[in-house]
Amino acid sequence: MSVFGKLREKLSRTRDDIVGKIQKLVVSRTRIDEGLLDEIEEILIGGDVSIDLAEEIIDILKSKMRQQGYIDTNEVLVVLKDTMAGFLLDSVSTNEKWFNQFVNNAEKPLVILVAGVNGTGKTTTIGKLANLFAKSGKKVLLAAADTFRAAAGEQLEIWAERAGVDIIRNQPGADPAAVAFDSLTAAISRGIEVLIVDTAGRLHTKVNLMQEITKIRRVLARKMESAPHEIFLVLDASTGQNGLVQAQQFTEAIGVTGLILTKLDGTAKGGVVFSIRKQLDLPVRFIGLGEGIDDLELFNPQQFVEALFQ
């Protein structure tokens, strides 16, 4: 299946919940009036797209109605799609460009620190990322700095095997910052190109745990001044708007550089991509579309919007 075909299939719940509902609503009416526009706005806001986007869409529809005296079904959908696409278009930098720069960066190793609240999909995403970088010919090492959960190291080890990359583990209960430091030391001596550091899930509200991850970051920078080169926050799309608060807190603590939005396949809350765009100054770099090793895609805003309409 093509990347677009897969995206289209995996986003079906979000599509049904936003575009599908609006489509049904407008085709069931002979006249599109202001009352109907209110219903459209409700669907958009219920679909977790930002209020700003919902208002922008409704304003355009209203002004078209005033100008023309009417608006037809097809026009409603065109406005919806164009406005959604425009909303995401001025993304911080395009992901293709970012990815190419990242994999062509001569600095060794490039260090990626991965953070997030419990169960958002950090370890799984690291497995997928390891596979992606290994497939682009990179020498990858994983660091099991989640020493909190006894099974966490084993879980990462299984992903390392699947992706065909090495892993550094320590005893459960070891200082996670020490594991991160040792891994970076090993990465340097082994000529590793990409080091990805897994961390334990933590609530953004727990001060001591946020200090712990700040320490991991600090220790990496002590070993290599430019590290970590990327700090990815993994957000579970199915938590919708709650992810925004997590992102703000993690950004304050560790300076997140990019987001990975997981579990878009199982949720109707994919509209959260629009809220993220409006409320956070952070790029969504990747999206998770399933539990398999290939279920990670570079986020492409145009394709994303296209997949919601086809």
Ligand X SMILES: Nc1nc2c(ncn2[C@@H]2O[C@H](COP(=O)(O)OP(=O)(O)OP(=O)(O)O)[C@@H](O)[C@H]2O)c(=O)[nH]1
Segment contacting Mg ion by CB under 5 A, of 120-128, 178-186, 211-219, 284-292: 120-128
Q: Is cis: bond before 283, omega within 30 of 0?
A: no
The number of beta carbons lying within 10 Å of the beta carbon of residue 157 is: 14
Assigned token pair, 152: 């966490």
For ligand X, the binding residue among 48, 182, 265, 297 (CB under 6 A) is 265
269 binds ligand X (CB under 6 A): no
Closer to ligand X by Cβ: residue 58 or 289:
289
Distance CA 308, CA 14 (A): 7
Closer to ligand X by Cβ: residue 123 or 251:
123
- Give kind and range of the element (H or E) at residue 24: helix 21-27
Helix axes 51-68, 272-279, angle to 10 degrees: 100
Asked whether 199 and 145 are in contact (CB, 8 A), the reply is: yes
257 binds ligand X (CB under 6 A): no
123 binds Mg ion (CB under 5 A): yes
Query: Using a CB cutoff of 8 Å and minimum separation of 24, what contacts does 21-26 make?
Result: 21/47, 22/76, 22/77, 22/80, 23/77, 26/73, 26/76, 26/77
Helix axes 51-68, 34-46, angle to 10 degrees: 160
Task: Give how many residues touch ligand X by CB under 6 A.
Answer: 22
For ligand X, the binding residue among 50, 239, 262, 275 (CB under 6 A) is 262
Q: Is cis: bond before 301, omega within 30 of 0?
A: no
Segment contacting ligand X by CB under 6 A, of 1-9, 28-36, 210-218, 285-293: 285-293
- The closest alpha carbon to 286, from 120, 104, 159, belongs to 120
Segment contacting ligand X by CB under 6 A, of 1-9, 13-21, 59-67, 287-295: 287-295
Segment contacting ligand X by CB under 6 A, of 87-95, 247-255, 258-266, 299-307: 258-266
Identity at 64, one-letter amino acid code: K
For ligand X, the binding residue among 240, 243, 288, 301 (CB under 6 A) is 288
Sheet holding 140-145, edge to edge: 166-168, 140-145, 194-199, 110-115, 230-236, 258-262, 284-288, 296-298
- What's the closest the beta carbon of residue 17 comes to Mg ion, in angstroms? 29
Distance CA 208, CA 177 (A): 14
Residue 229 contact, options ligand X, Mg ion, none, Cβ 5-8 Å cut-off depending on partner type = none
Closest-CB residue for ligand X?
Answer: 201
For Mg ion, the binding residue among 15, 21, 122, 217 (CB under 5 A) is 122
Contacts with ligand X, 201-230, as mask; x by CB under 6 A: x-----------------------------
Residue 124 contact, options Mg ion, ligand X, none, Cβ 5-8 Å cut-off depending on partner type = ligand X
Strand partners for 113: 197, 231
Q: Which of residues 64-123 bind ligand X (CB under 6 A)?
A: 116, 118-123
Binding site for ligand X (CB under 6 A): 116, 118-124, 146, 149, 152, 200-201, 262-263, 265-266, 288-291, 295
